[in-house]
Amino acid sequence: MAKMAADAKIFVAGHSGLVGSAIMRALRANGYSNLIVGGRSKVDLTRQSEVEAFFESEKPDYVFLAAAKVGGIHANQTFPAEFIYQNMMIAANVIEAAWRNDCEKLLYLGSSCIYPRLAPQPIPESALLTSTLEPTNEPYAIAKIAGLKLCEYYRKQYGFDAISLMPTNLYGPGDNFDLEHSHVIPALMRKAHEAKMMGAPAMVVWGTGAPRREFLHVDDLADAALHLMEHYSEATTINVGVGKDVTIKELVAIICDVVGFEGELEFDTSRPDGTPQKMLDIARLRSIGWTPNIELRDGLATTYAWFLENIDQLRAAE
Ligand code: GFB
């Protein structure tokens, strides 16, 4: 397996999202400058003809497929058709066009939430498709599983070097801080911040606080993605996580501490808990020489600093 040449033409699909922007930062930090991006005005990745035309004209050597319709537990339940349709289309269009246009290698991103709801913990890669999915994100999971299988079968039939990663729950700068549709970390960080600013006595946390989640800083994920692009070339997906988890109660305590909110917590149990636990087995990742670097508390502190710097733009965009 060769290192990507310094002048390789690299397409980061989804370059402005949480994951794509972190991959762009990591590529630049590692000296890659021949980076191409799409953006919805240039190429709508859900439209096959647009994707074909884009690949025929750009002919990238490498593709990081980080474009996806994503959201937290409530967004998944509110927009199930959009989650299944957009994610299936993006995966099928980009993987097919990359293969047809002689792309050297493609990296696709799954998600730990596409393992079965009651998978053994920590979750090994072999748990994929062994039992029923978590209902709150089944549409997303079905689409993402199709993407993983596209990579596997394009490798099998055509010898296309497509790999897939299974990241755990991600957070970091560039996240979506919308209160209804985001993931738990940005939602609780914003709630704690707003409660502190307003001098509110309490803030609301969804669910019981009992579910366990594993969180990976997106800069660690980007670092792992570059590492795997250069050191991994197998049909099976590979987990990318930290190998530790926390309860939502423990998470909110750290967030409140980082933000400086000292009020009460109100658990709204009319909101869903989702899957009880999701923690990845990262033995295979460790065996190929990659380990995470960013501790949860440190990552939350830098994410909060980013949030404070960008709060005006975030509000303006709403
Ligand atoms: O991050 P999250 O929305 O998604 O929620 P999942 C994680 C846990 O945090 C759930 C609780 O148990 C929520 O009930 N929670 C507490 C909150 N307060 C809040 C809040 O204010 N906002 C949110 N969003 N949650 C997602 C999947 O599942 O995992 C997606 O639905 C995606 O498809 C993602 O793949 C990685 O971890 O439950």
The pLDDT tens digits for 48-78 are 999 999 999 999 999 999 999 999 999 999 9
For the CA of 114, the nearest atom of ligand 1: 35
The pLDDT tens digits for 291-304 are 999 999 999 999 99
Spatial neighbors of 100 by CB under 8 A, at least 6 apart, are: 52, 55
Question: Residue 99's Cα: distance from chain center in Å?
Answer: 23
Q: Is 80 exceeded by the pLDDT of residue 316? A: no
For the CA of 191, the nearest atom of ligand 1: 21
Structure tokens at 9: 């033409």
Calculate how far, in angstroms, residue 10's C-alpha sits from the geometric centre of ligand 1.
32
What is 10-175+214-242+279-295's CATH number, 3.30.1490.20, 3.40.710.10, 3.40.980.10, 3.40.50.720?
Answer: 3.40.50.720
Q: What is the pLDDT of residue 3?
A: 86
Note if 304 is an active site residue: no
| Mutation to probe ligand 1, out of 165, 175, 183, 221 (largest number of atoms < 8 A from CB) | 183
User: Atom 35 in ligand 1: which residue has the minimum CA distance?
Assistant: 113
Residue 183, ligand 1, Cβ within 6 A: yes
The pLDDT tens digits for 84-125 are 999 999 999 999 999 999 999 999 999 999 999 999 999 999
Measure the CA–CA gap between 153 and 155, rounded to whole angstroms.
5
Whether 67 and 24 have beta carbons less than 8 Å apart is answered as no
Q: How far is CA 16 from CA 37, 58, 222, in A?
A: 9, 19, 14
Sign for the pseudo-dihedral over CA of 253, 257, 259, 265: positive
Q: What is the pLDDT of residue 40?
A: 84
Catalytic residue among 32, 115, 140, 154: 140
Whether 222 and 15 have beta carbons less than 8 Å apart is answered as no
Spatial neighbors of 220 by CB under 8 A, at least 6 apart, are: 242, 292, 293, 294
> Sorting pLDDT into bands at 50, 70 and 90, what band is 1?
low
Mean pLDDT computed over 159-183: 96
The pLDDT tens digits for 210-254 are 999 999 999 999 999 999 999 999 999 999 999 999 999 999 999
Measure the CA–CA gap between 134 and 202, rounded to whole angstroms.
30
User: Atom 17 in ligand 1: which residue has the minimum CA distance?
Assistant: 184
- Through-space distance between the first and last CA atoms of the chain, rounded to whole angstroms: 44
For the CA of 170, the nearest atom of ligand 1: 36
Question: Residue 126's Cα: distance from chain center in Å?
Answer: 20
Mean pLDDT over each residue of the chain, to the nearest integer: 96
Rg of the chain over CA atoms, in angstroms? 19
Residue 136, ligand 1, Cβ within 6 A: yes
Question: Residue 290's Cα: distance from chain center in Å?
Answer: 18
Measure the CA–CA gap between 113 and 278, rounded to whole angstroms.
7
Counted residue by residue, the chain has a size of: 318
Calculate how far, in angstroms, residue 97's C-alpha sits from the geometric centre of ligand 1.
33
User: Atom 5 in ligand 1: which residue has the minimum CA distance?
Assistant: 184
User: Atom 10 in ligand 1: which residue has the minimum CA distance?
Assistant: 273
- Domain ranges within the chain, ordered by starting residue: 10-175+214-242+279-295
Residue with tokens 């039992």: 131
Measure the CA–CA gap between 97 and 78, rounded to whole angstroms.
31
